[in-house]
Structure 1
Amino acid sequence: MKKQVMWIKVLACLMALVFVTGCASKPAATNETEPTEQKQAGTQANNSAPGKVWKVAYVSAYAIDELQWLTDMVAGLNTYGEEHDNIEMKIVEAVNANEYEPKIRALAEGGYDIIITSFNGHADATKAVAKDFPDIYFGIIDAKIQDIADYPNLQEFGIDRGYNSFLAGATAAYMSKSNKVAFIGGADIEAVNQIIAAWQQGLQYVNPDIEDTVAYSDTFVDPTIGRELALSLLSKGCDVIGASTGGAEAGVCQAIAESPTDAYYAAYDVHYYDILKGRELGSAVSYLDKMVIMFIEDVTAGKFEGGILKFFGPEMGTVAYEFAKDTPVPEDIQKKVMEISDKILNGEIEIGLEPLHK
């Protein structure tokens, strides 16, 4: 009888040991099926997996060859993909509203780890796909998404153009002889108006009495409209024109190049040496490929921040002001502009986001 009792006690102990061991193993199983909110923010384990090749897609809202800054950005992204064995880069054009969501969704279904889209037109489609694919990292450029906090696997990011736009305006004010300048924006939208705001503040910093006009082309691709607007502004006595109109800028440049008077152009994103031939003051350049690459590298390093809007400014090497190689700006004025640059960078000059007028 004693032997039977002893075996019962042994059996009970073994059963208890099995139960405790089984309970102890449950956290490992939990890690395999972690909560959705953790997956949406990304995990260090996934990001640091040795030998992982990241499938990255950039979805453009415009045809690549329509805009010089876009052509340059895509070239930079492709070069980055070629130089990094852990990156597989794909470029997709989604220029019509009826193809926004289908093309973004096809990339998600195709196993892409990082999908980057463009501007407000892509916003709704990007949000819809991001919601359905919480394990994929999404980024979107300059979309002004009001409810971005509701999408933990989506980050919005953009260039902080205040610094170089302020310097472009300051240069224009120094160089205007008629005391009349103008700026052409591609559309009456927040991103463009922030450029205009900084341009106007740069003008006012140098010359509070300068007269500046604002016009909108309502196109980022049609150079004919850009040219017509520029000709109209030149006829009103404006002798310096700045523009952030994408592909329409070529038309603005053409009008200035043909002007019989001494008119100058304040360029954005790229230089227009072939058209202007000595009439470009300088360019408020933006290195959008660097911005997108920094976003990609944050994701692959496990530093992704979802649900936020992030700006990339001069301290990150994404924007600069460059005088044209054949600039008509005298060296003493160039020096003054660079002194203003120093004041912006060390915090002596603060740049507001709202235009002084439109």
Structure 2
Amino acid sequence: MIYFDNSATTKPYKEVLESFIKVSSEYFGNPSSLHGFGGKAERLLMQAREQIAHLLNVKHNEVYFTSGGTESNNLAIKGTALMHRKRGRHIITTGLEHASVKEAMDQLKELGCSISIIAPDKNGIVHAEDIEKEITPETILVSVMHVNNEIGSIQPIKEIGEMLKKHSRVVFHVDNVQGIGKVPLDLYQASVDLCTISAHKFHGLKGNGVLFIRDGLRLSPLLSGGNQEWKMRSGTENVAGIVAMAKALRLTINNMERRLSQILSIKRYIFEEMNKIEGITVHTPEKNSAPHIVNFSIEGFKAEVFVHALGERGIYISTTSACSSKKAAASSTLMAMGIPEKDAKSAVRISLSYDNTMEEAEVFIEAVKENVIRLREVMKS
């Protein structure tokens, strides 16, 4: 099997699974309980928070545990809108965002918020000056993803954060689900107020995530009840998953330091070979793009046909993001970039991890070539 769909989800590290099993079986107490057994679970929770804070270079009290990227994005966006609704109801985002951001914005629009959507350029990148043009006295939030989940374009987060210093009342949220562990981002240097990460994108387990909330920033909670996470996110904590997430993040950042050049070499090879194949258009920009994502269209083919054809060979890739891949609609990201609808409908994505090899990339390229020829012959007959 060749697994090239790591932006959808990653295979958990062996050590991560071992941590989860150990904590689940030996430290299963409720961390909110008063007895000593619950206290052991609470200490593990505190240690994991400290570890993640250290890895993110932030304070431990800025790390809030959630169920994943979708919840973190919703808490950041809706929590800001609810907290500051008396000050303003205008929010700025981009045409590149994940469905959990887009649909949160749609809900807020129904509740009376005004949403400005910034279009990217032809390389899938938005610009700080375009965002600044939309800022009004009513603006309370700017939400921009760091790495686009479909084409891998890297947004100028530091430049946007620098620009927003002139608008100190505007909260800055960054969806960093695809960037974490692949593209470095210093949250303090970039003046980020809120940042989303999700464990299963860096070899942790599904159902765990983090929302970084800058010290001193106030949000309205979306989940009320037990007052966990400093009253920001009620609900009994998934201690085993959180401990496993801390280990996954540490291992992934170690791999980034040791294996980044390897994954970049694989990406360059795929780029070069794709550009040699007639009828293929690569949409991922060569510059300012993440090391693990390549998006391309195949002229005349529906994306799902090609995904299934490679799947029969044991090679797993995807169409758009996993949250939208079963829908027939063309990629909204590619459409926002000005890509024609027919090309957007034929786009597929490969996404790598530090475990992928050059040998796998070579097998993948040969399979692409063979399937392009085979499918074209089928279409002619």
TM-score by length of 1: 0.36
Structure (1/2) with the larger helix percentage? 1
TM-score by length of 2: 0.34
Determine which structure has more spread, i.e. the larger CA radius of gyration. Answer: 1
- Larger RCO: 1 or 2 (CA < 8 Å, sep 6+): 2
